Amino acid sequence: MSRALRFGISTCPNDTFAFHALLTGAVRCEGFDVEFVLADVEELNERLASGELQLSKGSFALAIERSADLCVLASGAALGFGVGPVLLARESARPLDADSRVLAPGAHTTANLLFRLLHPGAPLPEQCVFSRIMPALANGAADYGVCIHEGRFTYAEHGLRLVEDLGASWEARTRSPLPLGGIFAHRRLGSEVLCAVSDAVGRSIDWARAHPDGALETMREHAQEQRDDVLWKHVELYVNDWTRELGDVGRAAIAALEREARAAGLLSAAAPGLEVVGG
């Protein structure tokens, strides 16, 4: 008898590319009846934290905070160099100061944590769905925005300017790739289940790499930006060898994020290191 699992993934192109084979049945997680839930990453963070989802794509910022309950699968992560969120503003925006209105894509996102680490004197960001940030900047409703996903490629089309590549600032500070998101699971599922799911995720990534055009329809169905060139740029940037297997570099990157967050007082000193399962 198959075991039921509720599994969340984001609607961004790197996830719909990597999970296309599992979503369509081209690859199966044998022994499990997997129900996939697609949503914005901050909604996934909240549903994972509440226990509604047993496994989910989510933010490393949430996972390191809840590492006593969550672990990360070795396959399916988004991390690397040149992949970080960007701080954007209108051309006429005032200098960033204590009175600036800053938007971020969710309190549990790595983007929000990174802004707070790099700009400790700035006002706490207000949180909203990532797709609303660039329009709010363009119409003057906010001064600065921490933008993720396709925003890295399309901000100029919205009349916005790049204030800072937060990922590049992280890399200069730590000499480490930035761990953005991963596939997180409740530890109570047990290592046998988690290793089986991690293996299935890895096989789905392998399938997508071998049949890239096969995933395009799924990517188009869920993306905010419909231009194919932008979708493929997203995949090229966020799906890499560390997505297939975190490896030693990925594990070191997670440790660096934990270390910096603890030093800034944004992570409890008592939180255990995030465990990697599978691989």
Cα separation, 54 vs 145, in Å, equals 31
Catalytic member of 108, 119, 149, 234: 149
Residue 139: alpha-carbon gap to chain centroid: 27
Cα separation, 274 vs 220, in Å, equals 33
Contact between 239 and 48 (Cβ < 8 Å): no
158 counts as catalytic: no
The residues annotated with a catalytic role in the active site are: 149
